[in-house]
Amino acid sequence: MEHQPIRSARANKRGLIALIAVLLVATLVALVPGILGHKVKSTSANVGGLGQLSGLLPRDHLTEESAIQVDLSHETVRLPLYKGEAYGKTAWFILLDASDIGLAHDLGVNYAPKLANIGISCPTCVQTVTIDSPTPAQNPFGQAVVHFRGAPDFSPTRIAVPGPNGFPLAKFQPGAVAGSGYSPFIQIAGSPVVYSAPIVATGDGPFDVIHHTNTGDRVLGIHIAPATAPSGQFLESWVDMLFVKGFDAGQPIVYLSTDAGQPLTAVLERATYVPALNTAAYNGGDDFLGSARERLFGFINGQTGATNPQAQGFVHLVRDGHSSEDASADNTALINALRNGGDLLNVFGDFPTLSDPRHADAYSPLWDAQLGLWTDKAVKAGLNTRQIDEVVVFNLAATRPDLLTGINPATGQPAPYGAQEVGINCAVIGFTDQAPTANLATPVPNSQFPPR
């Protein structure tokens, strides 16, 4: 019996060694080849995983507090739907972000102070709207009708024909195009506050949620409340929108893409093509004076495979995400593919839940795309792995140009890493595991400016 403590100590030592080995492996999974000398940490047990995949997302995981529900089983976020008017016809819109903190909290939308800059040198990037002033008899309480100067045309057929490798596409055409005077960013006449208020449907119904001839390409369901409500009650209209999955600060997130400044981006994002967004203040700008943008990181040629935990990027979306098909609630193959990681899986920059207020308040729904192209060397060695953190990507681009470069959109050839003149309107909805709080790595010198 006197030897039992020795055996126990040895067993405990072996267990400790095994635990250390497991933790070491988990840490190495989170490291990007070539930057092992820089601090990297992970707060998620499943590095690069997608978090909760089914059921309703808990409300304490939402940043978009006005969301009625996020249904992870069906890849939809249900949002309040508001009535407007454009070109003399009914237009239905959603509210996602506001540049004023008090109004953002009051409306339950994301606070995005950078939106105050969106009209700088781009008057068409924000449209001035007017709002009715109904009498109490006309409207006991509820949303007054908003009058827009423009609206999207949802009638074009979205086309996304895969090329020989999936991406680049052989043929493409946006399924929705901004009409004259339209921007998803609005100011109410007399107010300096900027809101993200994309129009997602037009007309009085019935609404086409299969081929989207009068709805956005992400609209999977619409409910219009009755015109009259029981005394003392407000009946809410709502829309179900197909969300998108991505990552921020090492954590899986969900967001909603509604508008894009280039035709190809609009097709891939199932968004409305709004040319003005490409000139919003300003390309290559993030935490700089006058910028309305935040950085987003996409990858052209990451790994592919419907069940590959390292899959990510444009080729992956086209090959594995049913990109060429119309999105509808009945297209369960598409829904399940996206639910299990068939999305672009872009990496976001600043996020509302980050612990440093400088980065939490730097969030903007107007994303400035930084597109990465893995080199042949990286692809052949299998180093084109799934990326999940902004700083890790910047460090990789700064220290390993032999693995990751930028891309020239006109030629598809390697180019210096940086912004690609692609503006996208994407509002964050929430997170599916733990809240993003801090980046996973310390920036290497001269990898980004202003210093992080």
DSSP string, 133-197: ---TTT-SSSPPPEE-S--EE--SPPEEEEETTEEEEEEEE-S-EE-TT--SEEEETT----EE-
Q: Would you state the structure tokens that stand for residue 405, as one six-digit string?
A: 């470069």
Beta bridge partners of 71: 56, 76
Q: What is the pLDDT of residue 452?
A: 58
Identity of residue 284: G
Identity of residue 157: T
Pairing between strand 166-173 and 366-374?
unpaired
- Given a contact cutoff of 8 angstroms between Cβ atoms, the answer to whether 270 and 158 are in contact is yes
Structure-token match 């609206």, residue found: 151
Identity of residue 233: Q
Q: What is the pLDDT of residue 142?
A: 77
Edge-to-edge strand list for the sheet holding 219-223:
69-71, 76-80, 238-242, 219-223
Distance CA(210)–CA(154), nearest Å, equals 12
Q: What is the pLDDT of residue 38?
A: 43
Which helix (H) or strand (E) segment holds residue 202: the answer is strand 199-202
Pairing between strand 97-98 and 110-111?
parallel
Q: What is the pLDDT of residue 4?
A: 38
Closest CA to 269 of 247, 246, 251: 246
The phi and psi torsions of 314 (rounded to 5 degrees) equal: -70, -50
- SS3 call for 25: helix
CA atoms within 13 A on the CB side of 212: 29
Distance CA(93)–CA(151), nearest Å, equals 10
Peptide bond into 450 cis (omega under 30): yes
Name, in order, each residue with C-beta under 8 angstroms of 240's C-beta and a sequence gap of 6 or more.
71, 74, 76, 77, 78, 219, 220, 221, 222, 329
- Given a contact cutoff of 8 angstroms between Cβ atoms, the answer to whether 170 and 161 are in contact is yes
Q: What is the pLDDT of residue 449?
A: 65
Q: What is the pLDDT of residue 13?
A: 41
Closest CA to 254 of 436, 89, 391: 436
- Given a contact cutoff of 8 angstroms between Cβ atoms, the answer to whether 277 and 313 are in contact is no
Handedness of CA 262, 263, 265, 269 (dihedral sign): positive
- Given a contact cutoff of 8 angstroms between Cβ atoms, the answer to whether 14 and 21 are in contact is no
Q: Would you state the structure tokens that stand for residue 193, as one six-digit string?
A: 């506050």
- Given a contact cutoff of 8 angstroms between Cβ atoms, the answer to whether 351 and 365 are in contact is no
Closest CA to 117 of 197, 193, 63: 193
From first to last of the 452 residues of the chain, give the pLDDT tens digit.
333 333 333 444 444 334 333 333 333 333 443 343 344 444 444 678 999 999 999 999 999 999 999 999 999 999 999 999 999 999 999 999 999 999 999 999 999 999 999 999 889 999 999 999 888 877 777 788 999 999 999 999 999 999 999 999 999 999 999 999 999 999 999 999 999 999 999 999 999 999 999 999 999 999 999 877 777 677 899 999 999 999 999 999 999 999 999 999 999 999 999 999 988 888 777 888 888 889 999 999 999 999 999 999 999 999 999 999 999 999 999 999 999 999 999 999 999 999 999 899 999 999 988 999 999 999 999 999 999 999 999 999 999 999 999 998 778 899 998 877 778 899 999 999 999 999 999 999 888 766 55
CA distances from 95 to 58, 199, 257, 360, 438 (A): 21, 9, 13, 20, 27
Distance CA(95)–CA(117), nearest Å, equals 18
Peptide bond into 206 cis (omega under 30): yes
Q: What is the pLDDT of residue 179?
A: 96
Distance CA(258)–CA(264), nearest Å, equals 14
How would DSSP label each residue in 39-75?
Answer: -B----SSTT-----SSBPPGGGBSSTT-SEEETTTT
Question: Running DSSP on this structure, what letter comes out for residue 123?
Answer: G
Distance CA(386)–CA(17), nearest Å, equals 29
Q: What is the pLDDT of residue 333?
A: 98
Distance CA(284)–CA(9), nearest Å, equals 58
Burial class (CB in 10 A: 0-12, 13-18, 19+), 332: exposed
- Given a contact cutoff of 8 angstroms between Cβ atoms, the answer to whether 436 and 360 are in contact is no
